[in-house]
Amino acid sequence: MRNHYWSCSTFADWLRGTVSPKVADSNGWTTWEKTAKESHPFRYWLADTGLDVLQDIIFFIPDKLYEIKYYINNRWITRTHSLTAHPRNIRPGTWCDVGNRFLPCLFNELVDFVEIELAWMQIAWGDKELKKKYDPPFWATGWFKWRTWRCPQAGIDNLEWQKTLIFNEDYCKNESYYMQPTPQAVSAQEVLELYRWWTEIYPNRPDPYDASGWSEHCDHMREKYGKDSLLPSLNSKDPKDQEESSRAHALLREIEESYEKEDTEMMCRLIKIRNSLWT
């Protein structure tokens, strides 16, 4: 993928005779395309087809070199053919059932999308001051770019910018959605919420065994009946032991079920916006 396409340049707008919208939905682009073709058919072909053909010819060798580089990058470095879990979520070499891999694998990919792909988008077409703000290494931009540079703040800033996008083009002044958030802005808000849930809320949720009092109850039982006992309260005839065991166990199950429900809800939300996760 090139960083710049001649058919999307200011020169192309001049050659075409019609300025392309900066932001538009599918209907907006269709309306603009129809108007541009009807206004200047040949100039439209020159700008949208002729420039692409000319650029393909001139950049034939660089494009082939880029294809080789990106194959190496996709195959062995970023491994875009697979879903992976971070070692902090699934330690390498340990067994993890398939059902338990879904949550960390999906959300680890979301983290990479924000902190690597969107971080790169934030500086790809930014000015010198913006690049200086994030101080990316030489291999994060330009021809030597490898998609391994990680910058959470750059990715978050990109989402914050996307959230501000609204329908403010002339073509939609009479539409009900004029000055309303674009689908891209709505998706960015959702991506940011899911990202923050996984990186800030999920890892800081209280441990169910500690929050329910189950861990404390087990420690108390071992002190009372012996450290080698697994859970003496199961055989204890003391009503207080049985009552405490039942209370803590019931609360433990309640917390685990609420976490499971939350995890499922967040995975479903992530699946619903999957088509907007691209750069």
* Percent of the chain residues topping a pLDDT of 70: 92
pTM of the entire predicted model = 0.77
Segment 210-233 shows an average pLDDT of 78
Reported as half-sphere exposure (CB side, CA atoms, 13 A), residue 91 has a value of: 1
- pLDDT confidence bin for 29, thresholds 50/70/90: confident
Q: What is the DSSP string of 2-16?
A: -S--GGGSHHHHHHH
Tell me: pLDDT of 222 over 60. yes
- pLDDT confidence bin for 72, thresholds 50/70/90: confident
C-beta atoms surrounding 201 within 10 Å: 12
pLDDT digits (tens, 9 = 90+) for 124-166: 877 778 888 998 887 777 666 667 799 999 999 999 999 999 9
pLDDT at 3: 67
CB 149 within 8 Å of CB 136: yes
User: What number of residues does the chain have?
Assistant: 279
CA proximity to 73, closest of 131, 116, 103: 116
